[in-house]
Amino acid sequence: MKLPEKLTKLKAYDPITGTYAVRLDANESYFDLPDVLKAKIADAIEQVDFNRYPDPFATEVVNAFAAYYNISPDCVCAGNGSDEIITLLLNCFMTRGQKLVTVSPDFSMYGVYASLAEIEVVTVPKKENLQIDMDALISACQQADAAVFSNPCNPTSLGVARSEIIRLVESAPECLIIVDEAYMDFWDESVLDLVTKYDNLIVLRTCSKAMGLAAVRMGFAVSDPYKTNLLRAAKSPYNCDAISQVICATVLRETSLLQHCRDEIIVQTQRLYASLTELAQRYTDIIDTVYAPRTNFVFVKTAYAREIFEQLEQAGIAVRCFPNGLRICAGTRREQTILLSELEKILQPD
């Protein structure tokens, strides 16, 4: 049996696995849910009828998400993580042979999902400073059917201002612009409120980062009611399981807790950025740039990324390695102290 090349050439996503004393590689929140909230979740789970299928439209969690962000639930479709929604959008809102614009560097799975949908990918390189070249992106989108990119960006930690996203959406009205705002809770340049103003805009959100629910695969697409209804029709009938719905809805109603955790993560991210910047100033021959983050992680540009990564790994510290740098998530103060102490050992001359 001959399998299609689009499948046989794929390489599985390869996150770091194993046990580490310090995990700063997956951009997870370092806050676990408090025991009181876990008890609330446990009580809610007891009410689940395990012999019944879940709510196909995830009504409770959609309403909680909409209330948290002050938008209409008619504009929200829930998915089994943002990845499911991205896959749906590329397979159902586009057809084989159409053009999808991406930027580089960015989240690697956009291109993977596009190749499986047999969509042509047009990649716009970022500037030397890793910022999106908006004029080049606009030009590409004016000749394409859709575009997808993260804002703020994974892995660079940089962001595009709301005004520039609006310029893009208005300059390419025939191109579907998919803005992945997985990290926007840590910044304030969202275009979430504009989905009913622009019919070529879809915004993606997740509960995996600021909300500390990486273990619960729940993502959301926000668009005008017409496209939302199309997406609800295209998804599988019971795509979000009942347990995930209960957990996510319960957590989303804890507004004060979520905002406190977000604010603390931002503080720790800025602390990490300042510490890494100080290191860069002392080891200019090793660290090229430490980028000011709009996320819960910091990107460090260095030609020695692989060597530093491997030595940190040997010390029980996991970060994410890229060809041109390291992505380091903001952990607790204790985790940062351990990281920085080990970096000093690695970077200091013999």
What pLDDT, in 10s, does the model give residues 37-82? 999 999 999 999 999 999 999 999 999 999 999 999 999 999 999 9
164 and 53 inside one domain = yes
Whole-angstrom distance, CA of residue 88 vs CA of residue 303: 37
225 and 261 inside one domain = no
Query: Residue 44 domain-assigned?
Result: no
Query: Residue 176 domain-assigned?
Result: yes
**pTM score, whole prediction:** 0.94
| Number of neighbouring beta carbons within 10 Å of residue 51 | 5
25 and 173 inside one domain = no
Confidence check: pLDDT of 7 > 70? yes
Cβ burial, residue 283 (10 Å; 0-12/13-18/19+): middle
Q: What is the pLDDT of residue 14?
A: 67
Query: Residue 39 domain-assigned?
Result: no
Confidence check: pLDDT of 10 > 80? no
Query: Residue 162 domain-assigned?
Result: yes
pLDDT band at residue 9, thresholds of 50, 70 and 90?
Answer: confident
Confidence check: pLDDT of 344 > 80? yes
236 and 263 inside one domain = no
Ranges 4-18, 34-48, 57-71, 96-110: which has the least confidence: 4-18
151 and 10 inside one domain = no
The CATH number of whichever domain residue 246 belongs to comes to 3.40.640.10
Structure tokens at 101: 């614009």
Mean pLDDT confidence for 330-336: 95
Query: Residue 43 domain-assigned?
Result: no
Mean pLDDT confidence for 315-327: 96
Q: Is the peptide bond before 349 cis (omega within 30 degrees of 0)?
A: no
Is the distance from CB of 192 to CB of 203 less than 8 angstroms? yes
Is the distance from CB of 219 to CB of 88 less than 8 angstroms? no
Instruction: Give helix then strand counts, H and E, for the chain.
Output: 12, 13
Structure tokens at 66: 């909409």
Count of the separate structural domains present in the chain: 2
Query: Residue 132 domain-assigned?
Result: yes
**Domain-ending residue, one of 253, 282, 303:** 253
Range of the domain at 12: 5-30+257-347
pLDDT band at residue 20, thresholds of 50, 70 and 90?
Answer: confident
241 and 283 inside one domain = no
231 and 311 inside one domain = no
Whole-angstrom distance, CA of residue 167 vs CA of residue 62: 29
Query: Average model confidence (pLDDT) for the chain?
Result: 95
Confidence check: pLDDT of 215 > 80? yes
275 and 298 inside one domain = yes
Whole-angstrom distance, CA of residue 102 vs CA of residue 132: 10
Query: Residue 179 domain-assigned?
Result: yes
264 and 324 inside one domain = yes
54 and 110 inside one domain = yes
| Percent of the chain predicted with pLDDT > 70 | 99
118 and 14 inside one domain = no
**Domain-ending residue, one of 231, 253, 275:** 253
344 to 291, 307, 337: CA distances (angstroms): 19, 14, 11
Ranges 5-19, 160-174, 282-296, 335-349: which has the least confidence: 5-19
The CATH number of whichever domain residue 13 belongs to comes to 3.90.1150.10
179 and 200 inside one domain = yes
**Domain-ending residue, one of 225, 253, 281:** 253
Query: Residue 70 domain-assigned?
Result: yes
Mean pLDDT confidence for 169-181: 98
